[in-house]
Amino acid sequence: MSLVRCDHCGAPLELADGTSTVRCGYCQKDQVVTAMMAAVERPAARPAASVERYTRGRPVLCEWRGRWWPATILAELPGGQYLIHYDGYSSSWDETVGLERLAARSAKVPRATGNRAVGMIIAVSLIVAVSVGVLLARQATSSSAPPATMAPAVMAAPGQLALGQPVKVLWSGRWWNATVIAVYADGRVRVHYDGWAASWDEDVTLDRVGLR
Judge whether 85 and 72 are in contact, CB under 8 Å.
Answer: yes
DSSP 8-state assignment for residue 73: E
142-212 under CATH 2.30.30.140, yes or no = yes
Can you give the pLDDT of all 212 residues of the chain as single tens digits?
445 667 776 677 766 666 677 787 777 888 776 554 544 444 433 333 345 789 999 999 999 988 889 999 999 999 889 999 999 999 999 999 999 999 888 645 545 544 555 555 666 677 777 777 777 766 655 545 567 788 888 999 888 999 999 999 999 999 999 999 999 999 899 999 999 999 999 999 999 999 98
Judge whether 38 and 52 are in contact, CB under 8 Å.
Answer: no
Residues of the chain with CATH 2.30.30.140: 52-128, 142-212
Question: What confidence score (pLDDT) does residue 42 get?
Answer: 43
Q: May I ask the CATH class of domain 52-128?
A: mainly beta
Listed residue (80, 4, 1) closest to 41, CA to CA: 4
